[in-house]
């Protein structure tokens, strides 16, 4: 019965995946499963996961941030939740069901898990926690309940804290992350995202941040509920309709960062502001994602002089956008570029708040819809 636990699963890299990243993740995967095997071999007592029930007690403010009032769906949501928690997976079931390591970061590893019932999940295993068992569970449950109220955030559905393994379980998104999609087009020749898809993703991320920043600060000084803390493209998961959800909300407040050996390309693609936990840092990191979505490698190469080159980009003298865009769409893309530049101001104070950013993005959306109506 335990035979699968003694077999280290082979990771199937995505088509054309960069060798350096593949080797790094394979090495990490082996170390993870080595540790898992040690636990199974030692016949560690199996433990059920801590399941989190999500009931959508939304207030009016949250409904506006997250796409409308869904009161009429609450009974249906409650029934779905009861059905979901009727099955409680265990630690051993999760360890046996791991298929591959999808990615890693200074906070931990993300694995794809296929449970015996066919449910596919994403497991985020932390490298090093900054809090003890009781505080970990309290914070994760608090953050999970808040996330469940916003359709642009990925909430935790279960978690576990043992002596050697600490992880959370979330829904799995087969389209992968924004980082995967952008990298696949740039390095492997996959289809590029078009302007409308990129705009939709940017708007979804902004709405997720708006929801987080609208939260009241926790009465407990140790937990900041109104800051994300780790906004980057690999934490943006994409739906099949190219809407987006933001993951890892609050994880920097339960886990410490462990520095990794990364290639320069990996460091640039995940370059985030982590100097301190604040809304201004969230805005900066959002701006970095915006510039990456619009310009890709050009944005990285021109990063130190983008503001100075703004007029040349506007006039078309200097190419910037990594996707075809002309006419009115190019005008709107330039407006979004201005948002990205404002967000990445090296001085924190001049950076716009998320409300102003959403107003500007909504203007772009309104203009796009009006143009479609005329056509």
Supply the angle between the helices 354-374 and 195-213 in degrees, to the nearest 10. 150
pLDDT band, very low/low/confident/very high, at 276 (cuts 50, 70, 90): confident
Task: Report d(CA 294, CA 94) in Å as an integer.
Answer: 38
Give 94's contacts (C-beta < 8 A, 6+ positions apart). Answer: 49, 113, 115, 123, 160, 167, 169
DSSP structure string for 239-298: -TTS-EEE--TTGGGTB--------HHHHHHT----SS-SHHHHHHHHHHHHHHHHHTHH
Task: Report d(CA 234, CA 306) in Å as an integer.
Answer: 24
pLDDT band, very low/low/confident/very high, at 4 (cuts 50, 70, 90): very low
Which one of 159-163, 185-189, 299-303 scores highest in mean pLDDT?
159-163
Segment 156-164 mean pLDDT: 93
Segment 276-287 mean pLDDT: 94
Q: Which residues pair with 100 in a beta bridge?
A: 112
Q: Where in the chain is the domain with CATH 1.10.510.10?
A: 178-374
Find the radius of gyration of the CA atoms of the chain: 21
Segment 20-28 mean pLDDT: 49
What pLDDT score was predicted for residue 65?
A: 52
Task: Report d(CA 152, CA 86) in Å as an integer.
Answer: 26
pLDDT band, very low/low/confident/very high, at 222 (cuts 50, 70, 90): confident
Secondary structure class of 132 (helix, strand, coil): coil
What pLDDT score was predicted for residue 167?
A: 95
Q: Mean of the per-residue pLDDT values for the chain?
A: 81
Domain 10-171: homologous superfamily in CATH: Phosphorylase Kinase; domain 1 (3.30.200.20)
Which one is predicted more confidently, 317 or 332? Answer: 332
198-219 pLDDT, tens digit each: 999 999 999 999 999 999 877 6
Polymer length of the chain: 375
pTM over 0.95: no
What pLDDT score was predicted for residue 272?
A: 56
Q: Is residue 82's pLDDT more than 60?
A: no
Segment 143-169 mean pLDDT: 94
What pLDDT score was predicted for residue 81?
A: 52
Assigned fold of 178-374: Transferase(Phosphotransferase); domain 1 (1.10.510)
Task: Report d(CA 139, CA 176) in Å as an integer.
Answer: 26
Which one is predicted more confidently, 305 or 274? Answer: 305
Neighbours of 227 (CB within 10 A): 24
pLDDT band, very low/low/confident/very high, at 47 (cuts 50, 70, 90): confident
CA distances from 66 to 62, 109, 142, 151 (A): 6, 28, 18, 6
CA distances from 254 to 209, 218, 291 (A): 19, 15, 29
Positive or negative: CA dihedral 162, 163, 168, 174? negative
Neighbours of 204 (CB within 10 A): 21
What pLDDT score was predicted for residue 116?
A: 77
What pLDDT score was predicted for residue 72?
A: 45
Segment 221-247 mean pLDDT: 94
What pLDDT score was predicted for residue 46?
A: 75
Segment 96-101 mean pLDDT: 85
Alpha carbon 40 to its chain's center: 31
Q: Where in the chain is the domain with CATH 3.30.200.20?
A: 10-171
pLDDT band, very low/low/confident/very high, at 55 (cuts 50, 70, 90): low
Which one is predicted more confidently, 222 or 18? Answer: 222
Q: Is residue 42's pLDDT more than 50?
A: no
Q: Is residue 264's pLDDT more than 90?
A: no
pLDDT band, very low/low/confident/very high, at 115 (cuts 50, 70, 90): confident
What pLDDT score was predicted for residue 88?
A: 73
What one-character DSSP code corresponds to residue 177?
B
Q: Is residue 269's pLDDT more than 50?
A: no
pLDDT band, very low/low/confident/very high, at 8 (cuts 50, 70, 90): very low
H-helix segments, the chain: 19-41, 60-65, 74-85, 91-97, 133-147, 178-188, 195-213, 264-269, 279-295, 297-301, 310-315, 327-343, 354-374
What pLDDT score was predicted for residue 372?
A: 66
CB 229 within 8 A of CB 245: no
Residue 296, both tokens: 């890709």
pLDDT band, very low/low/confident/very high, at 37 (cuts 50, 70, 90): very low
What pLDDT score was predicted for residue 228?
A: 97
Neighbours of 191 (CB within 10 A): 8
Look at the block and give the residue holding tokens 């906070």: 107
């Amino acid at each position: 019965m335990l035979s699968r636990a003694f077999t280290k699963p082979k990771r199937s890299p995505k088509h054309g995946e960069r060798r350096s990243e593949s080797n790094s993740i394979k090495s990490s995967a082996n170390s993870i499963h080595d540790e898992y095997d040690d636990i199974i071999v030692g016949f560690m007592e199996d433990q059920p996961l801590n399941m989190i029930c999500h009931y959508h007690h939304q207030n009016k403010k949250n409904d506006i941030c997250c796409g409308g009032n869904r009161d009429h769906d609450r009974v249906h949501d409650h029934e779905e939740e009861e059905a979901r928690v009727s099955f409680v997976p265990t630690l051993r079931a999760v360890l046996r069901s791991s298929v591959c390591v999808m990615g890693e970061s200074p906070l931990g590893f993300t694995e794809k898990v296929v449970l015996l019932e066919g449910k596919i999940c994403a497991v985020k295993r932390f490298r090093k926690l900054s809090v003890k068992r009781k505080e970990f569970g309290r914070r994760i449950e608090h953050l999970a309940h808040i996330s469940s109220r916003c359709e642009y955030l990925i909430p935790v559905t279960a978690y576990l804290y043992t002596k050697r393994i600490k992880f959370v379980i979330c829904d799995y998104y087969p389209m992968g992350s924004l980082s995967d999609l952008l990298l696949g087009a740039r390095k492997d020749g996959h289809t590029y995202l078009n302007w409308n898809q990129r705009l939709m993703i940017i708007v979804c991320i902004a709405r997720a941040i708006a929801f987080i920043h609208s939260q009241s600060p926790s009465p407990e000084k140790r937990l900041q509920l109104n800051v994300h803390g780790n906004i980057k493209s690999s934490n943006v998961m994409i739906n099949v309709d190219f809407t987006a959800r933001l993951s890892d909300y609050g994880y920097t407040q339960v886990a410490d960062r462990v520095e990794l050996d990364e290639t320069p390309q990996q460091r640039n693609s995940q370059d985030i502001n982590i100097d301190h936990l604040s809304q201004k840092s969230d805005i900066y990191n959002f701006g970095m994602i915006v510039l990456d979505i619009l310009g890709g490698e050009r944005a990285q190469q021109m990063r130190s002089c983008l503001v100075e080159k703004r007029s040349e980009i506007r006039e078309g003298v200097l190419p910037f956008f990594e996707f075809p865009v002309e006419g009115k769409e190019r005008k709107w893309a330039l407006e979004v570029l201005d948002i990205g530049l404002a967000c990445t101001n090296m001085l924190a104070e001049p950076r716009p708040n998320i409300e102003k950013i959403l107003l500007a993005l909504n203007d772009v959306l309104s203009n796009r819809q009006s143009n479609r109506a005329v056509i």
